[in-house]
C-alpha cells in the first residue's frame, strides 16, 4: 500500500482563524500558525472551511476513495459532531484535523481501525503530530531518549500496544479518539466505541452472519485493491489469507499469490497455495526463506517507536518484495490479524455466552463445538464453563511475560492498552471482552499505511470488518466444531476443500532456529554485554542459562531471546 506520511505542527498558544497551511518541507511546519507537510504519495482533502482529511477515505457502502467532500460538513459543526459523522458515515485509513473554535489550537481524530498510526510530541513552542518519529525530529523535536521503564513494560507485555511508546515524550494517538492541542484541552474523547457494535436485539443466525461477512469483505478488501492494486497476497494456504484471495476474486480485482517456504518440509505451504492458485486461476510465486539475509545486529523495527517487529522479518521482507515485483504487483496484502478478528478463542467463553443468551441446550451444542476446537474433553470444558460462569463479569489482568527479565524491573506506571476497549459494556455477551482482547493483541503485528517493512497492508483490520465481526455472537465462530467458522463458510464455494478444513499450518520455525544457531555467539554478546543488561532490564544469569538451549528442541525460549536481541538493536539505533 502506498505509504501515507505527514507531520502537523500547531503553535502551543494558537487561537487564530483560517485553515491549516500546507508547506513544502518538514522543517517549515513550525511557524506562527498551524501547518502540515504531506509526503509525495499522501492525499489530503479539505474538511469544511478549515480542516483536512489526510489519507484514504471511503464513504460507507462505497468502494472508490473520495477526492473531495464538498459541502458535506457544515461550517458551524462542532469538532465532536464532525468526528462523529466521520466514524459513522466514512471509513478508511485517515487522520482528520481542524481548527478548534472553542478551545483554541486544533482538534484531531485518528480513525478507528488503527491502520494509520499517528504519534504526538511537544516542543517548547509547538504540538507535533506525525506518522513517523523521524518526521517529528525533522520538524524540530529533540532527538528522543529511550524511555527505559516504558521499554521494560513493553518487554513484559509484548502483545499489548500502549499509548506511551518506548521513546521519551512520544505517544501514540488512540484510534477513534478526539484529541485537542490547546493547553487546557483535557483528556482525549472517545468518538468510536466497541460498545456500539456488541450483539444485541435480534441476533443473526449462522447463514445471515456468513452472508454479511462475505458482502463486507468483498466491498472492503476490493476497495483497498482498487485504491492501490494490483495486489500480491502473502498466502499461507490458511483461512485468513485465502479469505482475502476469495474476496479479491469476487471483487474482480487482479492479484497473484506469493508463498514463502523453508528449506525443510516443516515450513513449506506451497502445496496448499498452489492448489488455491489453480482453483482461483491466479499466478503463484514460491519464494524461499533465506536465513542468510538476516543481520542479527540490525533491528527490523528501525525507525519505529517500539521494538515490535521480529528480527527474522528481515528475510521475509526481502522475499515478499522480490515476489511482489515478479508478479507485477504494487502492494502485498497479508492476513495478519485474522485469527483475532475472526474470534479464534481457546476458552469456554463462547459456551458461557450461549448459555447466558440462549439457554442450556444450545450451550451444550456449543460445548461440543469448543471441545473440537480446543481438543479438550467434555468434562474439562464443562468445568471451565462453570468456573467462568461463576466468575461473572470480572476480567483477568493482561498476562505478563517475565522470562529472562530482571526481578526488580521498574515500570512506567499502570499498564493500559492504547485503546481501553476491555472496559466496553458488553452486557450478557461477556466473551466479547475476550474477542476484544484478541483484537488488541493484533495491533503490534498488522501492517498499515506507515510503510514499514515494504509495501505491506493488513486489510482485515479495516473498520467495516471490525465492526461487523464484533456484532456476531462468539458461539457462531466455532459452529460445527471448527475455528473461524463464519470466515471459512463465507467463501466455502470459492476455495479448495483442502483449505476449508485446515486448522493448523506450518511456519518459519526451522528458519528462526537456524538464525539463532548461526548467531549464538553474537546473541550472547549482544544481550550480556548490551544496553538492556547495563540498564538492569535483563536477568543476566537467566539469559546465560537460556543460551545453552538446544535449537532442535521445541523450546520457545529461542523466540524470547531473539525478541530481546531485537529490543537491544532497536535501543542502539536510537542512542546518540
CB-based contacts of 72, cutoff 8 Å, min separation 6 = none
Count CB-CB contacts under 10 A for residue 51: 23
Output the 3-class SS for 516-534: HHHCHHHHHHHHHCCHHHH
Over residues 469-498, the pLDDT tens digits come to 999 999 999 999 999 999 999 999 999 988
Residue 345: name the closest of 373, 323, 317, 367 by CA.
373
Taking the C-alpha atoms of residue 426 and residue 432, their distance in angstroms, rounded to an integer, is 7
3-state secondary structure of 100: coil
The domain locations on the chain are 6-192, 206-341+441-472+485-500, 509-574
For residue 509, what pLDDT is reported?
A: 87
Nearest to 232 by CA among 493, 457, 460: 457
Residues 563/310, Cβ–Cβ less than 8 Å: yes
What is the reported pLDDT for 394? 66
The pLDDT tens digits of the residues spanning 116-144 come to: 999 999 999 999 999 999 999 999 999 99
Q: What is the CA radius of gyration of the chain?
A: 24
Alpha helices in 462-508 (DSSP H): 463-471, 485-490, 497-500
E strands, 104-222, where? 106-110, 119-122, 126-130, 171-172, 177-180, 189-190
Please state, in angstroms and rounded to a whole number, the distance separating the CA atoms of residues 117 and 138: 18
DSSP annotation string for 19-62: --EEESSGGG--SSS-EEEE-TT--EEEETTTEEEES-EEETT-
Question: Class for domain 6-192, per CATH?
Answer: alpha beta
Residue 551 backbone phi and psi in degrees, to 5: -70, -15
Kind plus residue range of the DSSP H or E element containing 11: strand 6-11
Q: Which residues pair with 284 in a beta bridge?
A: 257
278-337 pLDDT tens trace: 999 999 999 888 888 999 999 999 999 999 999 999 999 999 999 999 999 999 999 999
What are the DSSP calls for 74-87, one per residue? -TT--HHHHHHHHH
Of 171, 217, 227, 225, which is closest to residue 342 (Cα–Cα)?
Answer: 217
Enter the C-alpha cell of residue 531. 544496553
For the entire predicted model, the pTM comes to 0.95
List C-alpha distances in Å: 537 to 306, 373, 396, 520, 570. Answer: 15, 38, 26, 20, 14
HSE, side-chain direction, 13 A CA sphere, residue 478: 30
Q: CA distances (Å), 249 to each of 215, 254, 255, 416, in order?
A: 13, 8, 8, 40
pLDDT at 452: 61
The pLDDT value given to residue 173: 97
- Please give the CATH topology (third level) of the domain spanning 206-341+441-472+485-500: Rossmann fold (3.40.50)
The pLDDT mean for the chain works out to: 92
Give the strand pairing for 21-23 and 35-38.
parallel
Give kind and range of the element (H or E) at residue 221: helix 206-228
Model pLDDT, residue 184 = 75
Query: How far, in Å, are 96, 415, 452, 566 from residue 27 at the CA level?
Result: 21, 34, 22, 31
Contacts of 187 (CB under 8 A, 6+ apart): none
Q: Got the DSSP string for 313-371?
A: HHHHHHHHHHHHHHHT-SEEE--TTHHHHTT---SSHHHHHHHHHH-HHHHHHHHHHHH
CA distances from 115 to 174, 314, 432, 549 (A): 11, 21, 22, 38
Q: Which residues of the chain have pLDDT under 70?
A: 1, 75, 393-394, 451-454, 506
Amino acid at each position: 500500500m502506498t505509504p501515507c506520511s505527514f507531520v502537523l505542527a500547531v503553535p502551543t498558544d494558537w487561537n487564530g482563524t483560517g485553515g491549516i497551511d500546507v508547506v513544502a518541507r518538514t522543517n517549515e511546519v513550525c511557524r506562527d500558525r498551524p501547518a502540515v507537510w504531506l509526503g509525495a504519495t499522501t492525499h489530503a482533502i479539505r474538511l469544511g472551511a478549515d480542516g483536512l482529511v489526510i489519507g484514504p477515505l471511503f464513504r460507507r457502502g462505497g468502494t472508490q476513495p473520495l477526492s473531495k467532500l464538498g459541502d458535506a460538513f457544515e461550517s458551524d459543526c462542532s469538532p465532536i459532531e464532525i468526528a462523529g459523522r466521520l466514524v459513522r458515515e466514512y471509513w478508511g485509513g485517515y487522520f482528520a484535523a481542524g481548527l478548534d473554535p472553542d478551545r483554541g489550537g486544533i482538534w484531531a481524530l485518528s480513525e478507528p481501525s488503527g491502520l494509520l498510526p499517528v504519534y504526538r510530541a511537544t516542543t517548547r513552542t509547538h504540538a507535533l503530530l506525525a506518522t513517523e518519529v523521524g518526521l517529528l525530529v525533522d520538524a524540530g523535536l529533540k532527538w528522543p531518549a529511550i524511555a527505559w521503564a516504558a521499554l521494560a513494560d513493553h518487554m513484559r507485555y509484548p502483545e499489548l500496544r500502549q499509548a506511551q511508546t518506548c521513546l521519551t515524550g512520544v505517544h501514540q494517538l488512540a484510534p477513534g479518539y478526539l484529541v485537542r492541542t490547546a493547553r487546557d484541552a483535557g483528556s482525549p474523547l472517545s468518538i468510536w466505541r466497541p460498545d456500539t457494535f456488541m450483539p444485541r436485539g435480534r441476533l443473526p443466525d449462522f447463514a445471515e452472519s456468513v452472508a454479511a461477512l462475505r458482502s463486507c469483505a468483498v466491498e472492503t478488501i476490493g476497495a483497498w485493491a482498487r485504491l492501490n492494486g494490483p495486489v500480491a497476497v502473502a498466502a499461507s494456504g490458511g483461512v485468513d489469507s485465502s479469505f482475502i484471495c476469495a474476496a479479491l476474486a469476487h471483487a474482480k480485482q487482479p492479484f497473484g499469490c506469493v508463498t514463502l517456504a523453508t528449506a525443510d518440509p516443516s515450513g513449506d505451504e506451497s502445496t496448499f497455495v498452489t492448489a488455491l492458485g489453480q482453483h482461483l486461476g491466479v499466478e503463484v510465486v514460491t519464494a524461499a526463506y533465506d536465513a542468510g539475509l538476516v543481520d542479527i545486529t540490525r533491528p527490523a523495527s528501525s525507525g519505529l517507536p517500539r521494538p515490535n517487529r521480529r528480527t527474522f522479518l528481515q528475510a521475509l521482507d526481502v522475499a515478499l518484495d522480490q515476489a511482489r515485483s515478479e508478479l507485477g504487483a504494487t502492494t502485498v496484502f497479508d492476513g495478519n490479524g485474522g485469527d483475532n478478528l475472526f474470534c479464534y478463542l481457546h476458552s469456554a467463553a463462547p459456551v458461557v455466552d450461549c448459555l447466558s443468551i440462549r439457554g442450556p441446550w444450545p450451550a451444550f451444542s456449543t460445548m461440543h463445538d469448543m471441545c473440537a476446537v480446543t481438543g479438550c474433553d467434555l468434562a474439562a470444558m464443562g468445568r471451565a464453563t462453570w468456573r467462568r460462569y461463576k466468575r461473572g463479569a470480572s476480567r483477568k489482568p493482561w498476562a505478563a511475560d517475565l522470562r529472562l527479565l530482571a526481578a526488580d524491573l521498574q515500570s512506567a506506571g499502570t499498564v493500559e492498552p492504547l485503546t481501553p476497549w476491555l472496559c466496553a459494556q458488553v452486557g450478557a455477551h461477556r466473551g466479547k471482552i475476550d474477542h476484544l482482547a484478541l483484537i488488541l493483541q493484533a495491533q503490534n503485528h498488522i501492517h498499515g499505511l506507515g510503510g514499514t517493512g515494504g509495501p505491506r497492508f493488513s486489510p482485515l483490520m479495516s473498520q467495516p470488518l471490525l465492526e461487523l465481526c464484533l456484532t456476531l455472537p462468539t458461539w457462531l465462530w466455532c459452529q460445527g466444531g471448527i475455528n473461524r467458522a463464519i470466515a471459512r463458510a463465507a467463501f466455502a464455494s470459492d476455495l479448495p476443500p483442502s483449505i476449508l478444513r485446515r486448522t493448523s499450518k506450518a511456519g518459519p520455525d526451522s528458519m528462526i532456529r537456524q538464525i539463532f544457531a548461526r548467531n549464538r555467539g553474537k546473541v550472547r554478546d549482544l544481550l550480556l554485554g548490551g544496553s538492556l543488561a547495563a540498564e538492569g532490564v535483563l536477568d543476566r544469569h537467566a539469559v546465560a542459562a537460556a543460551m545453552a538451549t538446544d535449537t532442535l528442541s521445541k523450546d520457545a525460549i529461542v523466540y524470547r531471546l531473539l525478541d530481546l536481541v531485537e529490543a537491544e538493536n532497536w535501543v542502539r539505533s536510537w542512542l546518540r
